[in-house]
Structure 1
C-alpha cells in the first residue's frame, strides 16, 4: 500500500473560520508537464473544504478580487463573474447559470496543524532558491 503524499499549503490558523483563501500552485500533469493549479480552501470551524478555483460555467476563476470568494451572506462560494453560488461543503451549484453542476473538489487533510493537499503531485521547490537572512 502506497503512503499518502501530502503537501502543506498553509497553517490551519492562517485561514480564519468562515473565510476562503485562494492559492496559486503548480501541479504535475499526467505527462509530467507543470501546469497552473488555482485552488480555493474554505475553513468553517474545524472543517476545511477545497476546490479547484474554476467556475463550471465558463471556466473562469471564482474570485472577482483577490480572495473574494464568498457571497454577501458569507455562507456560499460565489462566482464573481456570473453570480453562481455553490454549497461550501459539497461544491454543488445551488443557483445561477451552472445550476446542477459543481466545483471540482480537491483532497485535503489537516496534519500537525497544517492544511495539506493530498492525492496529487505538486511541482516542488528544488531548494536552490533558499531564503537569505532567515
Structure 2
C-alpha cells in the first residue's frame, strides 16, 4: 500500500450502485485521495462491526477493469461465492470479510458496468 495514510471517510462519502434500492442493503464504496474503502450498508456506520476493505485506487481500478473484462483472478479484491448463495468480499490475504447476497452483488456489478465507481464518477459528484 501507499505510504500516504488512508483518509477517514464519513458516511456521506460512501455510495452504492444506482440499481440498489434506496432502502435496501448494498455494497458501499468511498474513494478519495488515492484510496478506496468498501463497507456493508447492513452494518451501522461507525459500529464496532463496521468492517472495511481498504485498497489503493490503483488496486480497486484494476479490479473494476478486470470485472468488466471477466478477469478478476489474482487481483487484490476477491469476491467468492459460498454454498449458501451468498458472496464473500475480502482483500487477498486479508482477514476482514464482508458478506453480501446475490442481489447486492448484482447491483454492485451493474454499478461497475456503468462506471459508477470510477474516479471520474466521484470527481463529478
User: Would you call these one fold, judging by a TM-score over 0.5?
Assistant: no
Structure ranking higher in helix proportion:
2
Structure exhibiting the larger radius of gyration computed from Cα positions? 1
TM-score (norm 2): 0.32
TM-score (norm 1): 0.30
Structure ranking higher in strand proportion:
1
Q: Which has the higher relative contact order, 1 or 2, with Cα contacts under 8 A spaced 6 or more apart?
A: 1
